[in-house]
């Protein structure tokens, strides 16, 4: 048993970190960093401190393990926000504020999450459709109506895309931004926190803009 496992057992009682869980955590980390095609099962095995045979014993193949990780990441990204967007009792302004805060927190905590999902969907390693059915209904139902109520001349799609871009883009472009603007990790994180305040203000301004 490793030191980490021992410490964990002492803290959590008799509960043991299952090998299956160890592999999934390691896979999460490696896939997120390298993407499907650059990640090697050997990397994952090493990260999990086991061997490749064991990986195949539990998950049958690299692809199946990837599918599992991908599903969890999509849930992580859309799980919290979907019900908020569906809720008719939450105002549009409040939704914008909640989405901004929620996403910036999630993306700050998990570097690489956004570009990972976007890229894997782009490269067709993963068919995201089944997981997106809910999100699709959500935006169509409540949110779009709310936009139309405030601005019937405005395309809700364009507005939602703009909001998503404001929130997500800096995380996707993070390495480039850090290079071009010469930012430290700490400064970057501080700037992202600032955007929690800025984005709702700016969205309000957009909603009031004359077309």
Partner DNA sequence: GTCTATAAGGGGATAGAC
Partner DNA sequence: GTCTATCCCCTTATAGAC
Give the interface with a copy of itself as residue ranges (CB under 8 A). 34-35, 37-38, 112, 115, 118-119, 121-123, 128-129, 132, 135-136, 139, 155, 157-158, 161-162, 164-166, 168-170, 172-177, 179-182, 191, 194-195, 198, 201-202, 204-206, 208-211
Report residue 143: phi and psi, to 5°. Answer: -60, -50
Distances (CA, A) of 82 to 32, 73, 86: 22, 14, 6
Q: Residue 9 or 195: which CB sits closer to DNA?
A: 9
CB under 5 to 8 A by kind: which of a copy of itself, DNA, none does 85 bind? none
Q: Residue 41 or 100: which CB sits closer to DNA?
A: 41
Helix H or strand E encompassing 119: helix 113-122
Per-residue interface string for the shown chain with DNA, residues 52-71, x marking contact by CB under 7 A? xxx-xx--xxxx--------
Total residues interacting with DNA, rule: CB under 7 A: 17
Per-residue interface string for the shown chain with DNA, residues 83-102, x marking contact by CB under 7 A? --------------------
Under the binding rule (CB under 7 A), the answer on residue 123 touching DNA is no
Q: Residue 9 or 33: which CB sits closer to a copy of itself?
A: 33
At its nearest, how many Å lie between DNA and the CB of residue 10? Answer: 19
- Torsion 161-164-169-172 (CA) sign: negative
Q: Residue 64 or 137: which CB sits closer to DNA?
A: 64
Question: Which residue shows structure tokens 């927190």?
Answer: 105
Q: How many CB atoms are located within 10 Å of the residue 85 CB?
A: 23
CB 39 within 8 A of CB 30: yes
Sheet strands (E) in the chain: none
Exposure letters 132-145 (e unless 16+ CB within 10 A, then b): eeebeebbeebbbe
Residues 16-55 that bind DNA (CB under 7 A): 19-20, 39-42, 50-54
Distances (CA, A) of 17 to 13, 55, 96, 125: 11, 15, 39, 29
Residues lying near DNA in the complex (CB under 7 A)? 19-20, 39-42, 50-54, 56-57, 60-63
């Amino acid at each position: 048993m490793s030191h980490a496992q021992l410490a964990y057992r002492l803290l959590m009682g008799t509960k043991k970190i299952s090998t299956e869980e160890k592999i999934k955590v390691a896979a999460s980390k490696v896939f997120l960093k390298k993407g499907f095609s650059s990640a090697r099962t050997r990397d994952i095995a090493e990260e999990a401190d086991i061997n490749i045979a064991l990986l195949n014993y539990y998950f049958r193949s690299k692809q199946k393990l990837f599918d599992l990780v991908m599903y969890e990441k999509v849930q992580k990204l859309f799980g919290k926000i979907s019900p908020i967007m569906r809720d008719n009792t939450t105002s549009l302004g409040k939704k914008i504020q909640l989405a901004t805060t929620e996403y910036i927190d999630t993306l700050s905590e998990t570097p690489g999450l956004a570009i990972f999902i976007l890229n894997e969907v782009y490269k067709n390693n993963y068919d995201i459709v089944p997981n997106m059915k809910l999100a699709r209904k959500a935006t169509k139902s409540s949110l779009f109506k709310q936009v139309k109520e405030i601005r019937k001349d405005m395309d809700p799609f364009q507005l939602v895309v703009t909001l998503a871009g404001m929130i997500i883009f800096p995380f996707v472009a993070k390495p480039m931004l850090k290079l071009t603007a010469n930012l430290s990790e700490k400064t970057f994180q501080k700037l992202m926190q600032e955007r929690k305040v800025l984005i709702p203000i700016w969205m309000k301004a957009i909603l009031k803009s004359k077309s």
